[in-house]
Amino acid sequence: MASNEESLLDQENGYLDVDDATDPVIRLTSRTYQDYDETEATFVPDPLVTQPKNGVIATASTIISNMIGVGVLGLPTAAAGLGWSLFAILLIVFTALSMYSSLVLGWLKGRMASLHGYPELAEAAAKARGPAAQRFYRRLVSGILFAYLQGVCTLYLITIKISLESVFEVCPDASLSNGTASTPRGATCEAQACTDHGIMDLPDSVWLFFSVMLLFPFVQNRSLAKNAWLSFVGVATILVVDLVVLIRCFQELSHSDHVRDTYHEWKLLDVVNSITVMVFAYGGHALMPDILAEMKDPKDFPKAVYYSQGFMGINYALIGFVGYAAYGNTVQNPITLSLPPDGASIFTNIMLLLHVGVAYCINSTVFVRNLFDTIWPGFIHKSTNTPLLRKRWAGLSLGVLLLSFIVAVIVPYFNDLMDVYSAVSIFALSIWVPALLMLLAQQGSLSLPLLVFNVLLIVVALFGSGMGIWAAFDDLIDKLKHCPVRFSK
């Protein structure tokens, strides 16, 4: 069995020494994030990042901006599929798992600025197994990461489209009640986003094109730390959205004639899809190494994790429970589609548009950085802000936008795309991959309880991913057959 010295990268190559590696979970808040020493000066600064400068609050805000968004707005539908008690239990479980995975990824990165992204982290964790294993795990994580980032960019683009329609699209007379159709199997088709104050009547594809045009100028941003103020905008806008949603839900509950069906009968397909919605709400670990890399004092990373995950847990509980109580089993994903299409809805969707725009830019920045490093290895470390760098960045960011546009036009069902991407990538990056990398990095030095816990985590997450893929595609195929798609008028 390999020793700690053989299984862990040494300080020179990116990880802590053997003393720091003992009982890593216990030490996550102590020596793992000790301040950078003078050896850091030997690393070449990344011209796309500049020097790390984010503090605890800015880092926590970036995590919240990245994680909270379209995911939280789908939690009422998860509560509808799971029922009150199971939803409450899983909310606690997923909050704890999200916190654990974040801390593990932070510990694995250690204090070395040279390890910037998730693929590099995977490659470093497999060092003891040789170059072939390092290449394998880097490619594996890169593939999952690219699927995740492309997926969330597509979902954010659809969300921006929904927000634009909710502000400008005219509601047909029959849709003023925000009613929805159902498939023969009972699946609910997604409601048409519109407003009774609308001024346009356009197909979904045109609104998606407008969304692309809105985003393109902003995805040229190449640094998270350089524009940390965006994270505060992201947090502020989603808080406004959540507040308005809660107010509208309480208004719905206060009506004397309010009667909503919250009777729950568990169905396997609904339970699995609801779990994937919850997992999606806690997605975002793909960006944790990048977020930590731009932190001024990495030893404070656990504080940022505790602040962000604690805030998210409270926020998720409020939206999930209150939204389900207000709209019952007919609640839409996102819940903004269940709100009356009036002036308050317009304001809410403007705030949601701003938030999702920020979230798209954060994810696009990390995605394009990783694509850069894959296509032109080392280029971002050698080049300054040259015309060639700017052209390549613009081309890649436009490519991501166009691919998101194509997927969104072909499969415009927000809820089902969320389930697919959650099952394919978020179960991996947020649950079983951190556990796997912990096992690779420790090479037998973990305590028995921690070893068993991580192995079980991998097995359960892989099983959940497989079930999620089955349920998501089953529901998606059903909707493609029976739910209308507005490609054109």
Cα separation of the two ends of the chain: 66
How is residue 286 annotated by DSSP?
Answer: G
Say if residues 67 and 362 touch (Cβ distance below 8 Å): no
pLDDT value of position 337: 82
CA distance 280 to 427: 8
CA distance 310 to 221: 29
pLDDT value of position 181: 59
Q: What is the pLDDT along the chain (489 residues), one digit of tens a residue?
A: 444 433 333 433 333 333 344 444 434 434 344 433 333 333 344 444 445 577 888 888 888 877 887 788 889 999 998 989 999 999 999 999 999 999 999 888 875 556 767 888 899 889 888 999 999 999 999 999 899 889 889 988 998 998 898 888 887 765 444 445 566 555 667 777 777 777 888 888 899 999 999 888 877 776 655 556 677 787 788 888 889 999 999 988 888 666 666 566 778 888 998 999 999 999 889 888 878 877 888 888 999 999 999 999 999 999 999 999 998 888 888 888 888 877 778 888 888 888 888 888 888 888 888 888 788 877 666 656 678 888 888 899 999 999 999 998 888 777 788 888 889 899 999 999 999 999 998 877 888 999 999 999 999 999 999 999 998 888 888 877 777 665 555
Phi, psi angles (nearest 5°) of residue 195: -145, 150
pLDDT value of position 108: 86
Angle subtended by helix axes 343-375 and 131-168, to nearest 10: 160
CA distance 77 to 414: 13
CA distance 318 to 209: 34
Q: How many C-beta atoms lie closer than 10 Å to residue 328's C-beta?
A: 20
Contacts of 440 (CB under 8 A, 6+ apart): 125, 126, 128, 129, 137
Q: Tell me the DSSP string of 255-281.
A: STT----------HHHHHHHHHHHHHH
Q: How many C-beta atoms lie closer than 10 Å to residue 279's C-beta?
A: 27
- Residue burial 54-89, b: 16+ Cβ < 10 Å; e: rest: bebbbbbbbbbbbbbbbbbbbbbbbbbbbbeebbee
Contacts of 188 (CB under 8 A, 6+ apart): 180, 181, 182, 330, 332
The CA angle 462-467-469, to the nearest 5 degrees, is 95
The CA angle 237-205-160, to the nearest 5 degrees, is 5
